[in-house]
């Protein structure tokens, strides 16, 4: 499994935090296209409310910018760039991302995202077990509620779940 997350703000100073991911350091968590288990335990790296789970791909590492602490703070009107790096479990001509948020116990797909990643966000076709680096941009719309929010990013090849990453963020004005 592999996922690379990059949160980016329009700031003159950017902090970069790279997290090398060892899946054995994470407790189990259900993260599927139908639902997200928000009761998943925290990982053992001390990064509150961060879980990597589900899928048949391999996650190499995660990087978040400009987060220098957890949970990350996102400003309304900013854009979030989600980067992931790793290998997929199968050959594929299609890679799709589905970001969602848990708001008032509802799993809501985040709008404004180009779901098809091939061509623009990742080089395709995908070959099984070949390392890939990809990025997708997600707007933080001004209508989003302020405060803590659980966010998940699901990545599929064809119809097979490859990666799932879940994290807590704080949306601020």
pTM of the model: 0.69
Sign of the alpha-carbon dihedral angle for 101, 103, 106, 110: negative
User: What domains are defined for the chain?
Assistant: 6-172 (2.60.40.770)
pLDDT tens over the chain, length 173 residues: 223 232 222 222 222 333 334 433 333 333 433 333 333 333 333 334 457 778 899 888 776 666 667 788 989 999 888 788 889 999 999 999 999 998 888 889 999 999 999 988 889 999 999 999 988 888 999 999 999 998 888 999 988 999 888 888 899 99
Q: Note whether 3 and 153 are within 8 A (CB).
A: yes
Cα separation, 57 vs 55, whole angstroms: 6
Question: Does the CA dihedral 111-103-168-2 come out positive or negative?
Answer: negative
Query: Measured between alpha carbons, how far apart are the two ends of the chain, in Å?
Result: 34
């Amino acid at each position: 499994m592999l996922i690379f997350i990059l949160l980016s703000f329009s700031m003159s100073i950017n902090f970069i935090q790279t997290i090398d991911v060892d899946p054995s350091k994470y407790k189990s968590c259900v993260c599927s296209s139908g639902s997200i288990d928000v009761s998943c335990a925290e990982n053992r790296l001390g990064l509150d409310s961060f879980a990597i789970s589900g899928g048949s791909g391999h996650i190499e590492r995660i990087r978040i910018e400009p987060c220098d602490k957890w949970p990350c703070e996102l400003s309304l009107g900013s854009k979030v760039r989600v980067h992931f790096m790793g290998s997929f479990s199968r050959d594929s001509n299609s890679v799709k991302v589905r970001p969602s948020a848990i708001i008032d116990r509802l799993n809501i797909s985040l709008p404004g995202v180009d779901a098809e990643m091939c061509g623009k966000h990742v080089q395709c076709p995908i070959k099984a077990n070949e390392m890939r680096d990809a990025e997708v941009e997600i707007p933080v719309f001004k209508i989003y509620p302020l405060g803590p929010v659980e966010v998940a990013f699901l990545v599929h090849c064809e119809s097979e779940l490859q990666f799932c990453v879940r994290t807590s963020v704080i949306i601020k004005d």
